[in-house]
Amino acid sequence: MKKFALSVIVLASSIGCSLPGHSGGKLIEVYFTDPLAGLPHMDKPSAQANGVDAALIALIDSAQKTIDAALYRLTYQPIITALQRACTRGISVRIVTDQSSVEEFSSEYNRLQSLPCLILKTDASADAREHFDHTMHHKFAIIDSSIIWTGSLNWADRELFFDANNALVIRDERIAQLFTTEFNEMFLKDRFGQQKYDGKVFTQLRTYAAGSATIGVYFTPSGAPQKIVRDAIRNAKKSIQIAMFYFTDDLIMAELAAAQARGVQIDAVWDFRGWERFEDSEIDDALHLGMGVVDALPGLVHNKFAVIDDTLVITGSTNWSDSGFFSNDENLLVIESSEIAAQFSRHFERLKRDALEYDRTPTLPPRVTVRHYNTQDVLARIEWRPHLGRPVDFYELCRARESFGPCERVYSQIPANHRYFIDESVQLGQRWLYRMRGSVDGQLTDWSNEFALTVQAPSCPIAGAREECDCDDTIDNDGDRSTDCDDLDCKAATKCLGPQWRENTRERVVVGLTAREALETHPERYLEKLVTTEFTVVTTTVSGSVIRVQSDRDFANHLSVIIFRSYEPRFRGLGIDPASFYTKKKIRVTGEFSQYQGQPQIIVRSPWQIELVP
C-alpha cells in the first residue's frame, strides 16, 4: 500500500497556456487572500478575500460530474450553498474531513450532511485517532477528476477574510490522479495518518518534457517532504523567502542557519501567534539570527510557503513541524517557475512591509487578534499585536454592545508591553464588542478592528489556565509542587494579567560540524543546542522502547543516538531497520544534544537526521 506519493511533472506552461485538449482557464492559477485591504477596521470583506472565494465558488459551479474534497474545515456558508447547487445538478460530492472540526462546528456540518448528493466521512471511524496523534489537515478538492484546488486555505470565514492564505488551481489530469489516490486512501480505505506507514514506499516519478513549469507533488505522513524542503534550502544559491504559520522543525532550522552562513539571504514573515504560542518554536532562533519578522495581521499568516532563488516555490498544507511531516495527512507542492515565484514573492513583500511599518509607527491603530487559542472559561480575554519596535505610551480598550457603538466601559493606561487584557467585569452569556487604540505623545490613534465574544459559564479549574498564566497563586492545591494557575484557585487565576514573552538570549544552533569528543568532554557548552556531528557506529542495542546507536560500547560516557521505537515506522517505511542498519557505518547526525542521567545523547525522530558518510 501507499506510504507517500511523489510526482514530478513538467507542464506545458506555468501561466496562461493550456494543455492539449484543455479548453478555457489557465493551467496554473494562483490566488492570495489580502487581509491588509481591510485595515484598520477589517470591514471590507470583498477586498480582504481578494477574489479567492469567488474563484472557489465558480470552480464548484463549473463541476460537471464529481467533486471530491479532503478539507480540514468547511464552514463558509456561500461554499455550502454552492455545494447545494451542485446537488441540484446531479453532481456526486464526497468529502472527508477532520473529526475535531465536525465537533467544533456541528451546525455547519449538520447542514452539509443534509445535502442529498453529499457523502461526508471523517477520520473518527478509523483507529487513527485512537492510536496516533494526527490531524486530517488537507485543503484540496478534485473537480471532475481533472482540476485540483489546493493550498493553505481552509474553507472558512476567518481564513478568507482575516488570514493570509494562498490557493492554487491546477488543471492537469495526471496531478489530479495523484490527489485522487490520496483521497481514496482516506475516503475508501479509511487509512489516515501513520496508518499509511506499512513498510513500503509507493513512488511515482514521471517527467513530461512539455514545457517550462515543473510541479512535484508529495503527501505526508512521510519523511519525503521534510527532506525535499531541507534539500531545497541546502541547494539555495542566493535567497530564501518564507511565510510560515508553525515552524518547529529543528532540522530545517539547521539548514537555514547553514545556508545563511554560506551567504544565502534569508528573509521571513513568521506568524505572531505561531511564534508566541509554542515554546518549541524555531522562530525564536530564526529571529535571533536575523531571519525576518513576525507578522502584524489581526488574523494569521496561515501560509506555508517558501520562495527559493526567485524560481522555486514550496507550498501546500504542510507546516514545517514534526506533526506536519510525520503525523498529519498533508500535501506539499514544489513548483519550479519564475512567474509563479514572482507572485508568491509579491505577496511575501506586502506582508513584510506591513509588519515593519506597524512596528516602527505607533500612531497606526492597534490590531486586535480575531483568532484566539488562549480561550478560558469565565474570562473575557482580549488579545492584540503590540507595536514591537517603537511602542505606544499606553493602550485604551473600549467595551461596547454594538459595532463601533458608544463605549459602555473604557479601560485605560494598559501598559505598552502587554499583549492581552482580561475583563473580569462582564456579565456571563452576553455578547460584547471590544476595540482599542493607542496613545502616543498625548494623541490617541484611530480605533482598531473589533473583536466580538460571549463569555461562557464558569468551570473550575479554568480551561487553559495551566498553559496561559503565571500568576501570584501561592496555594499548591493539586500537589504538583507548582503554585501557578494549574491549581483550583480560580480567583487568583482570573487576575492573571501581563506580558508573557519568552526570552531568547542565546544562539541555539551550532553551525558546522561539532566533534564528538567536544560533546563528550564539554557537554555543558552544547546542552539543548542543535548540533551536527559524525562518528562510526560501534554497536546498536535495543532496550525496551529505545534503540541506541552507539559510538562506543561504554554509552554512559560516550555519545549515542537515541531512536524511540514509536518512530521506528518512519525508518522502516524507507526500508531501514534502525536496529541494525547503521552498525559499523560512519554516520553524520543532526539533532538537539542532551544528557540523560549524565549520558550524552542526540534524540532522532526522523531518518533524514542521519546521513551515511562515505
Q: What is the pLDDT of residue 481?
A: 45
Mean pLDDT of the 68-82 span: 96
Residues 200 and 110 in one domain: yes
Mean pLDDT of the 544-550 span: 93
Domain presence at residue 555: yes
pLDDT-derived band at 471 (thresholds 50, 70, 90) equals: very low
Mean pLDDT of the 120-144 span: 79
Residues 353 and 385 in one domain: no
CATH of the domain at 371: 2.60.40.10
Residues 94 and 170 in one domain: yes
Residues 163 and 307 in one domain: yes
Which structural domain, as residue segments, surrounds residue 401?
Answer: 367-494
Residues 121 and 143 in one domain: yes
Domain presence at residue 502: no
Residues 15 and 126 in one domain: yes
CATH of the domain at 550: 2.40.50.140
Q: Indicate the range of 137-151, 316-330, 365-379, 572-586 predicted with least confidence.
A: 365-379
Residues 65 and 158 in one domain: yes
Q: What is the pLDDT of residue 405?
A: 95
Share of the chain residues as helix, strand and coil, in percent rounded to the nearest 5: 30, 30, 45
Q: What is the pLDDT of residue 454?
A: 84
Q: What is the pLDDT of residue 9?
A: 56
Q: pLDDT digits over 51-62, tens only?
A: 999 999 999 999
Q: pLDDT digits over 245-275, tens only?
A: 999 999 999 999 999 999 999 999 999 988 8
Residues 94 and 196 in one domain: yes
Domain presence at residue 188: yes
Q: What is the pLDDT of residue 570?
A: 79
Residues 49 and 105 in one domain: yes
Q: Identify the residue with better confidence: 477 or 283.
A: 283
Q: In what order do the strands lie in the sheet with 380-385?
A: 367-368, 380-385, 420-423
Residues 288 and 172 in one domain: yes
pLDDT-derived band at 288 (thresholds 50, 70, 90) equals: confident
Q: What is the pLDDT of residue 450?
A: 97
φ/ψ of 443, rounded to 5, equals: -110, 140
The Cα–Cα gap between 315 and 177 comes to 19
Domain presence at residue 477: yes
Task: Select from 327, 358, 389 the last residue of a domain.
Answer: 358
Task: Select from 464, 494, 524 the last residue of a domain.
Answer: 494
Q: Identify the residue with better confidence: 600 or 5.
A: 600
Domain presence at residue 504: no
Element (H, E) at 288: helix 283-288
The answer, yes or no, to whether residue 457 has pLDDT greater than 80, is: no
Q: What is the pLDDT of residue 379?
A: 64
Q: Identify the residue with better confidence: 205 or 404.
A: 404
CATH of the domain at 304: 3.30.870.10
φ/ψ of 287, rounded to 5, equals: -65, -40
Mean pLDDT of the 288-298 span: 94
Percent of the chain with pLDDT strictly greater than 70? 81
How far is the CA of 441 from the CAs of 206, 279, 362, 367, 513, in angstroms?
A: 63, 35, 10, 19, 51
Indicate the angle between helix axes 224-234 and 250-261, nearest 10 degrees: 10
φ/ψ of 399, rounded to 5, equals: -115, 125
pLDDT-derived band at 195 (thresholds 50, 70, 90) equals: confident
pLDDT-derived band at 593 (thresholds 50, 70, 90) equals: very high
Q: What is the pLDDT of residue 16?
A: 33
41 touches 450 (CB < 8 A):
yes
73 touches 154 (CB < 8 A):
yes
Task: Select from 448, 469, 494 the last residue of a domain.
Answer: 494
Could you say which DSSP state residue 365 is in? P
Residues 106 and 124 in one domain: yes
Sign of torsion over alpha carbons 542, 545, 550, 552:
negative
Domain presence at residue 255: yes
The answer, yes or no, to whether residue 477 has pLDDT greater than 60, is: no
| Number of domains the chain is built from | 3
Q: pLDDT digits over 419-456, tens only?
A: 888 787 777 778 999 999 999 999 999 999 999 988 76
Q: Identify the residue with better confidence: 17 or 548.
A: 548
Cα Rg of the chain, angstroms: 25
Residues 347 and 384 in one domain: no
Mean pLDDT of the 189-196 span: 85
Mean pLDDT of the 20-36 span: 74
- Report the predicted TM-score, pTM, of the whole model to 2 decimal places: 0.82
Domain presence at residue 330: yes
Mean pLDDT of the chain: 84
The answer, yes or no, to whether residue 460 has pLDDT greater than 50, is: no
Domain presence at residue 353: yes
Q: What is the pLDDT of residue 134?
A: 81
User: Nearest CA to 301 among 29, 37, 34?
Assistant: 34
Single-letter code of the amino acid located at 237: K
